[in-house]
Structure formats: structure tokens, C-alpha cells
Amino acid sequence: MKRSHLMREIIETLALALLIFLVIRFVLQSYHIEGTSMQPGLKANEFVFINKVAYLFRAPERGDVIVFHFPRDTTQDFIKRVIGIPGDTIKTDSIHVWVNGTQLKEPYISTPLNPLARTWKVPPNDYFVLGDNRPDSYDSRNWDYVPKDYIMGKAIVVFWPLNAIHFIPANKNVYSQIKNTGE
């Protein structure tokens, strides 16, 4: 009787360990933030968890912080905020950003700054992304769009260092007044 109970405990422990491994391997992934492009909210040398299945049944939304393969060199991964979704028209001047004619009021950015005035029309299956530290971010203003297939997942929580643990807000209220273009 005691041997069967011990064997059952071992099998349950192994099954639980396998389940935890599968969740971590296929659902979550860690990402190390290397630069300052997402300050003040995300800082260099912090680690975040990425939800790798977040976009399995829905598309990325404006405000989501995503990790993706850099379109010009897919061996590099970047973290940025989605500003424009397919069909959106993004316009910038030296300090403002508009999406479909609505000026964004972004409380999460460090300093409002754009290198030049320009307009983009986001193609189907692509996303326009910006870093929150606008003066120090290499993003869609420099190289245009992120293809949907390059998106690894949604950044959901900072988990390291321990004194910096917090959920990563999408700031949906910033984007709530934007009219969708229907694409």
C-alpha cells in the first residue's frame, strides 16, 4: 500500500513539473531589456515576461508593449509600444503624434520628440511601434513597420529585479478616442 502511494506521489510530481515546463516553454518567455528606449516605464537590465500566446486569437492593439524580431535584422529582438495598427494613418511633427487624426496625449513617454514631421499609412498585417523614450528610440519613425509574423508576444510583467516587479500597462485610455479605419 505504501509503495503505490509513493509511486503515485512521484508520478504527480513529475506531471506537475512537466506542466510547469510546458507553460514556461510555450506560453511565457523572458526578455532582457538592454537599452533605454522604453524609459521611464521599462529600464535597462530589467527582465520581463512575454505572453507568447496573447495574439493567437486576437491582434495586437494600440498601447500594447510587444517584443518582436527587428525587421532589418531578425537576429535582434526589440521591445516597443504599438501606436498604429493595420490601416491607421500616423502623423508626427516635432513633438506630437496623431493616429487617424486624433492627437495622442501620452503620459508614459519621457519627452515628446520626433526627428521630423512625417505621415505613415500602416499596411495590412503590419504595426507601427514607438519607444516611450522618444529622444532615444530606434523605432518605426526610422524604419517603418513591424510585420505581424515578427511579433514574439506581449510584454506583461517586469519580474526582475525584485524591487521593480510590476505589470506593464497598455494605457488603453490614451487610444480610446481613435476611430478605426476599418482595415
CA–CA distance, 154 with 175 (Å, rounded to integer): 17
CA–CA distance, 79 with 144 (Å, rounded to integer): 15
Active-site annotation holder among 2, 43, 80, 140: 80
- Burial group, residue 181, by CB count within 10 angstroms (0-12, 13-18, 19+): middle
Q: Tell me whether residue 80 is one of the annotated catalytic residues.
A: yes
DSSP state string for 61-82? -TT-EEEEE-TT-TTSEEEEEE
Active-site annotation holder among 2, 4, 30, 37: 37
88, 145 contact by CB (below 8 A)? no
Q: Tell me whether residue 91 is one of the annotated catalytic residues.
A: no
Catalytic residues: 37, 80
